[in-house]
């Protein structure tokens, strides 16, 4: 609960600040796509600049899968908050820069199930309570760059919004073993080799994409 509050607090603070600024009327917006369902507030600062803050989520999902010969129970968490600045260079078209506060991670628990499990090329006999735990986590704070349409300062009433961009950063992989048989018996070298194989795929992910469409209302 504490991490979620820290993630969303900067965005909510800007929403309150913009709503209290009397210079120009702002308005709420909503969109759907990647990174999920988004709710936010946009506030004009000048004739060609808008400040925005929003929160997005795809929720939390659980699944079972096999990676590198190990059966995993996987849990995916996807929440994001963002602070953005829009510069309008051609009508309603804009360049967007900002920062996102992310809670993106995959927790994978490899099950021993009383059989054997291969970690880093070595086969280990397990008990039902043994686990090989892996976490893939995207950085908590990342820069954002993108292009978009909508939120223009001079507009009023309903409008269309579109965003294409991404939060720039590389996911990290960490892991450990637990349980009565694996703890103290699995070498760190085998753990490192297993994680290195996972990093070969995860290391290619250098940004979290945004592709969303929605609607805005300007008071």
What range defines the domain where residue 16 resides?
Answer: 2-218
Which has more confidence, 44 or 71?
A: 44
Cα angle: 147, vertex 202, 132; to 5 degrees: 140
| pLDDT per position as a tens digit, 124-137 | 888 888 888 888 99
> Which tokens sit at 152?
């223009």
pLDDT above 70 covers a percentage of the chain that reads: 87
Residue 108 burial (10 A CB sphere; 0-12, 13-18, 19+) = buried
CATH of the domain at 202: 2.40.160
Q: How many CA atoms lie within 13 A of 22 on its CB side?
A: 0
| pLDDT per position as a tens digit, 172-206 | 888 888 888 888 888 888 888 888 888 887 767 78
| pLDDT per position as a tens digit, 124-173 | 888 888 888 888 999 999 999 999 999 988 877 899 999 999 999 988 88
Cα angle: 97, vertex 83, 159; to 5 degrees: 80
Is 116 in contact with 130 (CB distance < 8 Å)?
Answer: no
In the chain, how many domains are there? Answer: 1
pTM of the entire structure?
A: 0.80
The residues near 98 (Cβ < 8 Å, ≥ 6 apart) are: 52, 82, 83, 84, 85, 143, 144
């Amino acid at each position: 609960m504490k991490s979620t509050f820290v993630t969303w607090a900067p965005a909510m603070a800007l929403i309150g600040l913009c709503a209290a600024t009397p210079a120009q009327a702002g308005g709420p917006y909503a969109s759907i796509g990647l990174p999920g369902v988004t709710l936010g507030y946009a506030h004009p600062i000048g004739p060609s600049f808008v400040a925005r803050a929003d929160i997005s989520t795809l929720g939390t999902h659980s699944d079972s899968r096999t990676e590198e010969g190990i059966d995993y129970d996987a849990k995916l968490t996807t929440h994001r908050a963002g602070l953005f600045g829009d510069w309008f260079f051609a009508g309603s078209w804009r360049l967007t820069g900002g920062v996102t506060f992310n809670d993106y991670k995959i927790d994978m628990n490899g099950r021993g199930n009383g059989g054997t499990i291969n970690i880093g090329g070595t086969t280990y006999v397990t008990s039902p309570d043994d686990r090989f735990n892996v976490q893939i986590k995207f950085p908590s704070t990342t820069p954002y760059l993108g292009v978009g349409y909508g939120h223009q300062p001079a507009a009023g009433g309903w409008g269309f919004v579109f965003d294409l961009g991404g939060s720039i950063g590389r996911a990290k992989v960490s892991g450990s073993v637990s349980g009565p048989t694996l703890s103290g018996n699995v070498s760190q070298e085998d753990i490192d080799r297993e994680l290195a194989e996972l990093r070969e795929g995860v290391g290619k992910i250098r940004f979290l994409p945004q592709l969303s469409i929605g609607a805005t209302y300007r008071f």
